[in-house]
Amino acid sequence: MKEFWRFLKFVLFSASAGLIEMGAFALLNELAGWRYWPCYLIALVLSVLWNFTLNRKFTFRSAANVPVAMLKVFGYYLVFTPLSTWLGDYLAEDLLWNEYLVTGINMILNLVTEFLFQKYVVYRGQIDNNLAAEDAVVNG
- Predicted pLDDT at 63: 85
CA 109 remoteness from chain centre? 10
Report CA Rg, the chain. Answer: 17
| Domain count within the chain | 1
Give the structural domain span for 105: 2-139
Asked if residues 133 and 67 have their Cβ atoms less than 8 Å apart, the reply is no
How far is 25 from 10, CA to CA, in rounded Å?
21
- Predicted pLDDT at 120: 96
Q: For the range 63-70, what are the long-range contacts, defined as Cβ-Cβ under 8 Å and sequence gap of 24 or more?
A: 63/126, 63/129, 63/130, 63/133, 64/122, 64/123, 64/126, 64/129, 69/122, 69/123
In tens digits, the chain (140 residues) has pLDDT values of: 899 999 999 999 999 999 999 999 999 999 998 999 999 999 999 999 999 989 998 999 998 888 999 999 999 999 999 999 999 999 999 999 999 999 999 999 999 999 999 999 999 999 998 865 555 445 55
